[in-house]
Chains A and B, each alone.
Chain A
Amino acid sequence: MTDRTRFLFRKSAGRGGVCFVCLVLAFSFSACADNASISSPSAKVEFFAMNTLMSIEVRGAEAEAAVAAGRDEVYRLERLLSRTDPKSEVSAINTAAGSEWTEVSEETFSLIQTALLYSEETEGAFDITIAPVMDLWGFSSGEHRVPDDAEIGSVLERIGYEHLLLDETGFRVKLENPGMSMDLGAVAKGYAGDRVKEIIKQFDFETALINLGGNVTVIGRKPNGDLLRVAITDPENRQQYLGVLGSEDTHVITSGGYERFFEQDGKVYIHIMDPETARPAQSDLLSVSVIDSNGVRSDILSTALFVMGREEAIRYWSGHRDLGLVMAKVDGEVLVSKNLLGTFRVTEGKSVTYFDGE
């Protein structure tokens, strides 16, 4: 044994050094095994589906596979639920309106069932049989026009969710009257958000950002641990934002008249229809954003609460306090449900009211 080694074993200070070196050696071995975790791969797909632009972005070991599977799922749902695709199950139901029952997949059936439940809960503010009204005003074709009172009167007879019949024993659906038509457009993107989220969760991933035409779904956090930041468009000035939401594992879905509208004789006609009047909703709101862990619910309620207007929307929220709600009023005020305090940051200079029930 040399002087030096003897020194190492004798003096406690030296022993500390040895421990330190051993510790470091142990780390250096494990470090070689795991180099990939330092920078995870990421992948993004952007595509057109359901009549809008969609993007799916995933970070994690299986990012490539996850985004591809997510996109395929959206395409599958589009084939199943599109009103314009003559081969879809929804088209089959519409073709048989007023005559016979249509047998559909369990998936389509339960989605329609959910939609009807919300129609009842919102007292008809949300209605998937509104399609003939959309057609009448030209929002389906893009050739907008203002119909006369006689046309409105006749179309009112061809809508109403209570005339959409379900037969649970055989997954059969029927539209009671001829000329009726259903459209799952106001649920399909929300449902797609739920499904894509489920699909991505089957893969090895860290963060996912799903944007289905302005319906945003986020899962996980940024590599540095920050929350993902979802901005909500200011309906008065689409260049600006109402505010920014820091979110993790949630859907942020917005409905607003500003998204699609036309002007005639100085009057603005928006694309969100009030099933009661068969005319564009006369809402005192410009937009409603719903923040929730359930995409279908967010999608449906963003439309329904918009149609209901401020007072009824707040009343609805009082009974469903787990929802996050951001609403822009026509006078520019931003209404935010109290449970979003600290999560949603309103743009500086905007007047904001946090509501806590009626």
Chain B
Amino acid sequence: MKNRTAKLTAWGVMTALSLVLTVAEAMIIPAGLFPIPGFRLGLSNIVILISVYLFGAIPSVGIVLLRTLAVFAFGGNLSAFLFSLCGGLLAVFAMLVLRQTKLFSLFGVSAGGAAAHSIGQISAGAFLTGSARLFLYLPFLLWASIAAGLLIALLSVPIYRALDAFFKAPGSE
């Protein structure tokens, strides 16, 4: 991946994928499936997780920013935007840091990102309402998110294998 165009294309495709996964998730998983308000499976985190490994810090943060902005532009409301921006950025930073330590597998990194996401969400909510009581709700969201993070990691493993092989294929050099 030395070619600049190839890089940009790859980043663009990944951004599109994360956006599509966000929308697809909203469509195929009914809002009431999980009894925890504010909780989502976060399928698009597959893309973020893989980007963190394949592309590094700047493109990963860029993908999060673009995805959040695009969802907002397609008819999200302002508070939901602030929630997902806070959560999304914290999550990607957490994943980048955990990856740098080289202590953890894809599973640990994903779970860490998910946990950071829920902490970011609750913090944004508490900030907007001025009510610290919202933090009492953190454990439920946090534990559900960690479980979701592990599931995301599980889904990411075969996809990561495929993409890693793809980018390292002879033709891509």
A positions within 8 Å CB-CB of B: 2-5, 7-8, 11, 13-14, 16-17, 20, 24, 27-28, 30-31, 34-35, 37-39, 221, 223-226
Contacts and interface: CB of A to CB of B under 8 A. Distances in A.
Contacts of A20: 159, 162
B46 to A, nearest CB: 10
Interface string B54-96: 0000000000000000000011110000000000000000000
Interface string B147-173: 000000000001101110110011110
Contacts of A31: 20, 23-24, 27
12 contacts: A4-B169, A7-B170, A13-B166, A14-B165, A16-B161, A24-B17, A27-B21, A27-B23, A27-B24, A30-B27, A221-B32, A224-B31
B32 A17 contact: no
A14 B171 contact: no
Contact of B171 (A4, A27, A28, A38): A4
A61 to B, nearest CB: 15
Nearest to B16: A28
Interface string B1-29: 00000000000000011001101101100
Residue picked from B27, B33, B38, B77, most chain A C-beta under 10 Å: B27
B130 interface: no
Contacts of B137: none
A37 B165 CA distance: 38
A343 B24 CA distance: 34
Contact of B37 (A2, A14, A226): A226
Given A34-B27, A35-B75, A225 B165 contact: no
B170 A4 contact: yes
Given A11-B165, A224-B37, A225-B32, A39 B75 contact: yes
Pick the 8 closest A-B CB pairs, nearest first. Answer: A225-B32, A4-B171, A27-B24, A17-B162, A3-B171, A31-B23, A16-B162, A13-B165
Interface residues of B, number: 31
A interface majority secondary structure: helix
Given A225-B33, A225-B35, 18 more contacts: A4-B170, A4-B171, A7-B169, A13-B165, A14-B162, A17-B159, A17-B163, A20-B162, A24-B20, A24-B24, A28-B23, A38-B26, A38-B75, A39-B76, A39-B77, A224-B32, A225-B31, A226-B35
Nearest to A36: B75
A68 B31 CA distance: 27
Contacts of B75: 35, 38-39
A43 to B, nearest CB: 17
Contacts of B77: 39
B143 interface: no
Contacts of B35: 225-226
A4 B172 contact: yes
Nearest to A3: B171
A319 B119 CA distance: 51
Given A24-B17, A39-B77, A14 B27 contact: no
B23 to A, nearest CB: 4
A34 B26 CA distance: 11
A2 B171 contact: yes
Contacts of B135: none
Given A3-B169, A30-B27, A16 B20 contact: no
A16 B37 contact: no
B68 to A, nearest CB: 15
B171 A7 contact: yes
Contacts of B161: 13, 16
B34 interface: yes
Residue picked from B17, B30, B76, B169, most chain A C-beta under 10 Å: B169
Nearest to A206: B31
Nearest to B23: A31
A28 B20 contact: yes
A13 B162 contact: yes
Contacts of B26: 38
